[in-house]
Amino acid sequence: MYCYCCSGKRFSNCCQPLLDGKVKAESGIELMRSRYSAYCHKAIDYLYATNYPDLRKANPKTQIAEFATAVHFIGLTITNITSSSDIDNYIAAHKSQVSFVASYINGNKLETLAEQSRFILTDQWYYSDGDIAATLPKTIGRNDKCPCGSGNKFKHCTLHMISGNSEHGPRHTLA
Ligand SMILES: [Zn+2]
Ligand SMILES: [Zn+2]
């Protein structure tokens, strides 16, 4: 199957080794993509473990699981990556910012969120925090075409509920 993160690569060659704990993300952007995949794959432990320790109290596993179970992500677009190359500044050199737009189906609503997320490298890359701008949820009509790009009517579509499990290529229309 193709990776959830819309890389166009196979899951086994992209985010799966990270979710399985076989390798660590080498950059903020890699961690960001893998966390998106983790939400799709419901890899709750991975999401929790890659939250910066400060954040773990504020975003417990139950809360992560609740969100990951409720929503079906259908697309990811990375809009900007800023990595500091300031080697004089130890702190700055270990931070990275990634802006992205992710859309997901939540019940019968299509929601899109734009986030400027921040990542920190200590013993590994962690998600630190982010500025989130969510658009107003858009109701999907039962007879509308499903926003997941399956071509099915929304009322009949189940494809987005098994994100990435299609062998027919990336369902995601967003790059
Ligand atoms: Zn991936
Ligand atoms: Zn669908």
Instruction: Indicate whether 32 pLDDT > 70.
Output: yes
Separation of CA 35 and ligand 1 centre (Å) = 9
Task: Over range 33-61, report the average pLDDT.
Answer: 94
Separation of CA 100 and ligand 2 centre (Å) = 21
Sorted by where each begins, the domain ranges of the chain are: 11-162
Distance CA 106, CA 83 (A): 32
Q: Return the half-sphere exposure (C-beta side, CA atoms, 13 A cut-off) of residue 117.
A: 26
What type of residue is 145? K
| Least confident residue range of 10-19, 32-41, 88-97 | 88-97
Task: Over range 31-39, report the average pLDDT.
Answer: 96
Separation of CA 158 and ligand 2 centre (Å) = 6
Separation of CA 9 and ligand 1 centre (Å) = 7
What type of residue is 125? W
> What pLDDT is recorded for position 130?
93
Do the strands 138-139 and 125-134 form a parallel or antiparallel pair, or are they unpaired?
A: unpaired
Task: Over range 27-31, report the average pLDDT.
Answer: 93
Q: Indicate which ligand has the atom closest to the C-alpha of 25.
A: 1
Separation of CA 165 and ligand 2 centre (Å) = 12
Helices 28-41 + 61-70 axis angle, to 10: 70
Q: Indicate which ligand has the atom closest to the C-alpha of 145.
A: 2
Separation of CA 18 and ligand 1 centre (Å) = 9
Contact 120, 128 (CB under 8 A): yes
- Written as six digits, the tokens of 7 are 């890389």
Task: Over range 82-105, report the average pLDDT.
Answer: 74
Instruction: Indicate whether 14 pLDDT > 80.
Output: yes
Do the strands 125-134 and 109-121 form a parallel or antiparallel pair, or are they unpaired?
A: antiparallel
Task: Of 133, 145, 138, 76, give the one whose Cα is nearest residue 110.
Answer: 138
> What pLDDT is recorded for position 165?
45
> What pLDDT is recorded for position 85?
53
Exposed / middle / buried, residue 161 (Cβ in 10 Å: 0-12, 13-18, 19+): exposed
Separation of CA 151 and ligand 2 centre (Å) = 8
Separation of CA 32 and ligand 2 centre (Å) = 24
Contact 128, 52 (CB under 8 A): yes
Separation of CA 138 and ligand 2 centre (Å) = 15
Separation of CA 147 and ligand 2 centre (Å) = 6
Distance CA 139, CA 82 (A): 34
> What pLDDT is recorded for position 80?
85
Name the CATH topology of 11-162: Nuclear Transport Factor 2; Chain: A, (3.10.450)
Task: Over range 139-165, report the average pLDDT.
Answer: 86
> What pLDDT is recorded for position 159?
83
Task: Over range 132-141, report the average pLDDT.
Answer: 91
Instruction: Indicate whether 96 pLDDT > 90.
Output: no
